[in-house]
Protein backbone atom coordinates (compact mmCIF):
# COMPACT_ATOMS: atom_id res chain seq x y z
CA UNK A 1 0.00 0.00 0.00
CA UNK A 2 1.15 3.46 -0.81
CA UNK A 3 1.45 5.75 2.23
CA UNK A 4 0.45 9.35 1.54
CA UNK A 5 0.98 12.47 3.60
CA UNK A 6 -1.04 15.66 4.05
CA UNK A 7 -4.33 14.34 2.68
CA UNK A 8 -7.10 16.37 4.42
CA UNK A 9 -9.85 14.50 6.24
CA UNK A 10 -13.25 15.28 4.71
CA UNK A 11 -15.86 16.68 7.12
CA UNK A 12 -18.36 14.27 8.63
CA UNK A 13 -21.70 14.01 6.94
CA UNK A 14 -24.46 15.72 8.84
CA UNK A 15 -26.68 13.46 10.94
CA UNK A 16 -30.00 15.09 10.14
CA UNK A 17 -31.88 13.66 7.19
CA UNK A 18 -31.62 15.61 4.00
CA UNK A 19 -34.50 17.63 2.63
CA UNK A 20 -35.00 14.73 0.27
CA UNK A 21 -36.57 12.80 3.19
CA UNK A 22 -38.35 15.73 4.88
CA UNK A 23 -41.73 14.46 3.67
CA UNK A 24 -40.98 11.10 5.28
CA UNK A 25 -40.29 12.73 8.68
CA UNK A 26 -43.44 14.83 8.39
CA UNK A 27 -45.54 11.74 7.63
CA UNK A 28 -44.01 9.83 10.57
CA UNK A 29 -44.87 12.69 12.95
CA UNK A 30 -48.52 12.66 11.85
CA UNK A 31 -49.14 8.91 12.17
CA UNK A 32 -51.58 7.73 14.79
CA UNK A 33 -51.66 4.16 16.12
CA UNK A 34 -52.74 1.70 13.37
CA UNK A 35 -52.27 4.34 10.62
CA UNK A 36 -50.03 3.43 7.69
CA UNK A 37 -48.67 4.90 4.48
CA UNK A 38 -47.00 3.54 1.37
CA UNK A 39 -43.67 4.95 0.25
CA UNK A 40 -42.20 4.04 -3.15
CA UNK A 41 -38.60 2.87 -2.92
CA UNK A 42 -36.40 5.61 -4.43
CA UNK A 43 -34.64 4.72 -7.65
CA UNK A 44 -31.16 3.37 -7.02
CA UNK A 45 -31.96 2.27 -3.46
CA UNK A 46 -32.85 -1.24 -2.33
CA UNK A 47 -35.64 -2.09 0.13
CA UNK A 48 -33.27 -2.79 3.06
CA UNK A 49 -31.47 0.54 2.67
CA UNK A 50 -34.74 2.42 2.46
CA UNK A 51 -36.13 0.66 5.55
CA UNK A 52 -32.94 1.73 7.35
CA UNK A 53 -33.63 5.32 6.20
CA UNK A 54 -37.16 5.13 7.61
CA UNK A 55 -35.94 3.95 11.01
CA UNK A 56 -33.15 6.56 11.00
CA UNK A 57 -35.80 9.24 10.46
CA UNK A 58 -37.80 7.80 13.37
CA UNK A 59 -34.70 7.86 15.58
CA UNK A 60 -34.06 11.50 14.69
CA UNK A 61 -37.62 12.41 15.69
CA UNK A 62 -37.17 10.57 19.00
CA UNK A 63 -33.79 12.21 19.58
CA UNK A 64 -35.40 15.63 19.26
CA UNK A 65 -37.86 14.46 21.94
CA UNK A 66 -40.76 15.26 19.68
CA UNK A 67 -42.47 11.91 19.91
CA UNK A 68 -41.70 8.33 20.92
CA UNK A 69 -43.52 5.67 18.95
CA UNK A 70 -43.06 2.23 17.41
CA UNK A 71 -43.13 1.37 13.73
CA UNK A 72 -43.14 -1.71 11.61
CA UNK A 73 -42.52 -1.94 7.88
CA UNK A 74 -43.24 -4.45 5.13
CA UNK A 75 -42.12 -4.55 1.53
CA UNK A 76 -45.27 -4.66 -0.62
CA UNK A 77 -46.09 -4.11 -4.27
CA UNK A 78 -45.31 -0.49 -4.99
CA UNK A 79 -42.79 0.11 -2.18
CA UNK A 80 -42.57 -0.03 1.61
CA UNK A 81 -45.67 0.23 3.81
CA UNK A 82 -45.04 1.83 7.21
CA UNK A 83 -47.40 1.28 10.17
CA UNK A 84 -47.40 2.96 13.56
CA UNK A 85 -47.98 0.18 16.10
CA UNK A 86 -47.59 2.10 19.37
What pLDDT shows up at residue 55? 92
pLDDT attached to residue 3: 67
Q: DSSP string of 58-70?
A: HHHHHHTTS----
| Sequence ranges of the domains in the chain | 33-84
pLDDT in tens, the chain (86 residues): 876 788 787 776 655 545 667 788 888 888 888 899 999 998 888 999 999 999 988 988 888 776 778 899 999 988 999 999 88
Q: What is the pLDDT of residue 18?
A: 55
Can you give the pLDDT at residue 25? 85
| pTM listed for this prediction | 0.70
Amino acid sequence: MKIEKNIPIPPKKKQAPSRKYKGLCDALRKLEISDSFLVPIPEGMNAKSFKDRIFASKAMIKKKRENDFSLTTREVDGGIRVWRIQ
